């Protein structure tokens, strides 16, 4: 990646894992291991672990994120959490548009955009996930899909607000499957996303944007993926649940 232009960020996506005592143990183990990281370090944790994570990471280099938020400020949305509620707690990041939300919870490009807007309005930073299904890759429409998801999600986002958005390219077929995109495939799509952002916001904004790769990134393949010029970090699922593995990835991004 071009470190002169942008910061690498390694973000853990814990998904629906870890009770509070388990979260506490993982964070305590992680803190000393990543304290000298030269990249951004974020842990996105279940809502029930946010308070624990915020408490335990105070004064450290670890930032805390949530895994989703609703688009409304408040109201009759049983079971949902608003961006304002997260911001008030001191949460800094929120993942929006993860493929598991799109696949299992009816998330659409439109609701992704609404959630991005709500998160930005609340002052949060967004990790925006885009990525194609296996059939879409095999049909040769990866760029169309990822381009459309990116453009739709960024509707109504100003150039200034773009500075609070990180994009995570996550091919759906590579998530939790152990099948990683090759470093070339990851770089190719990340580069394409940067060209889409450049068309919307100009080259300088695109050059400054952190674009991560996610999908079975682990301690073994992180070096090669993160060595790619357009791969500015990673969104890490499974491997973020083990402190030594997550640390190896953080160290790879710190080189
Ligand atoms: P994985 O998940 O690393 O377990 O493939 C990545 C993600 O879904 O963000």
Domain of 184, CATH number, reads 3.20.20.70
Q: What is the pLDDT of residue 17?
A: 98
Per-residue pLDDT at 189? 98
pLDDT of residue 2: 66
CA atoms within 13 A on the CB side of 38: 8
Which pLDDT value is given to residue 3? Answer: 64
Q: What is residue 1's predicted lDDT score, i.e. its pLDDT?
A: 58
Q: Structurally, how many domains does the chain consist of?
A: 1
- Vertex 23: Cα angle to 19 and 26 (nearest 5): 140
Residue 76's pLDDT is 98
- Closest ligand 1 atom to the C-alpha of 215? 5
What separation in Å is there between the alpha carbon of 181 and the centre of ligand 1? 12
- Write the residue with the smallest CA distance to atom 2 of ligand 1: 237
Within a domain: 204: yes
Residue closest by Cα to atom 7 of ligand 1: 237
**Token pair belonging to 203:** 């080259």
Query: At CA 168, angle to CA 161 and CA 32, rounded to 5?
Result: 95
Contact 194, 211 (CB under 8 A): yes
Look at residue 72 in the predicted model and tell me its pLDDT: 98
Flag whether 3 is in a domain: no
Does residue 4 form part of some domain? no
Handedness of CA 48, 68, 40, 190 (dihedral sign): positive
**Residue 72 corresponds to which tokens in the numbers above?**
């409304």
Ligand 1 site-directed mutation target among 235, 239, 241, most atoms within 8 Å of CB: 235
Ligand 1 touching residue 237 (CB < 6 A): yes
Range of the domain at 104: 9-72+79-253
Cα 99 to ligand 1 centre (Å): 10
Q: Is residue 2 part of a domain?
A: no
Give φ, ψ of 185 to 5 degrees. Answer: -65, -45
Answer yes or no: is the C-beta of 12 below 6 A from any ligand 1 atom. no
Residue 140 lies in a domain: yes
Task: Report yes or no on 178 lying in a domain.
Answer: yes
Q: Report helix, strand or coil for 139.
A: coil
Residues marked as catalytic = 98, 170
- The predicted structure's pLDDT at residue 178: 84
Which residues, 6+ apart, have CB-to-CB distance to 189 below 8 Å? 142, 143, 146, 169, 171, 181
Put residue 149 in one of left, alpha, beta given phi > 0 → left and psi -120 to 50 → alpha. Answer: alpha
225 lines ligand 1 (CB under 6 A): no
In a domain, 37, yes or no: yes
Residues of the chain with pLDDT under 70: 1-3
Q: Could you tell me if residue 203 is inside a domain?
A: yes
Task: Return the ligand 1 atom nearest residue 13 CA.
Answer: 9
Query: What is the model's pLDDT at position 88?
Result: 98
Atom of ligand 1 nearest to the CA of 236: 3
Q: Which atom of ligand 1 is nearest to the CA of 218?
A: 3
Calculate how far, in angstroms, residue 20's C-alpha sits from the geometric centre of ligand 1: 21
Q: Long-range contacts for 148-153 (Cβ within 8 Å, ≥24 apart)?
A: 148/109, 149/97, 149/109, 149/112, 150/193, 150/196, 150/197, 151/196, 151/200, 152/109, 152/110, 152/112, 152/113, 153/96, 153/97, 153/109, 153/112, 153/113, 153/116, 153/128
Phi, then psi, of 12 in degrees rounded to 5: -85, 140
């Amino acid at each position: 990646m071009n470190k002169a232009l942008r910061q690498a960020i390694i973000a853990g996506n814990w998904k629906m894992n870890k009770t509070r005592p388990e979260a506490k143990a993982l964070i305590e183990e992680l803190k000393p291991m990543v304290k000298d990281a030269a990249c951004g370090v974020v842990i996105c944790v279940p809502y029930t672990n946010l308070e624990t994570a915020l408490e335990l990471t105070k004064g450290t280099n670890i930032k805390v994120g949530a895994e989703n938020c609703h688009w409304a400020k408040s109201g009759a949305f049983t079971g949902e959490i608003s961006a304002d509620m997260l911001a008030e707690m001191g949460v800094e990041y929120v993942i929006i548009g993860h493929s598991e939300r799109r696949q299992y919870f009816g998330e659409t490009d439109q609701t992704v955009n609404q959630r991005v807007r709500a998160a930005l309005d609340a002052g949060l930073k967004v990790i925006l996930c885009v990525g194609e299904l296996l059939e879409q890759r095999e049909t040769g429409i990866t760029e169309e899909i990822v381009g459309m998801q990116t453009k739709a999600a960024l509707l109504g986002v100003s150039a200034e607000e773009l500075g609070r958005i990180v994009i995570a390219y996550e091919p759906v077929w590579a998530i939790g499957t152990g099948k990683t995109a090759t470093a070339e495939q990851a770089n190719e799509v990340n580069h394409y996303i940067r060209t889409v952002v450049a068309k919307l916001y100009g080259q300088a904004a695109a050059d400054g944007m952190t674009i991560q790769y996610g999908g079975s990134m682990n301690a073994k393949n992180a070096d090669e993926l993160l060595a790619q010029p357009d791969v500015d970090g990673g969104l890490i699922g499974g491997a973020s649940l083990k402190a030594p593995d997550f640390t190896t990835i953080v160290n790879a991004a710190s080189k």
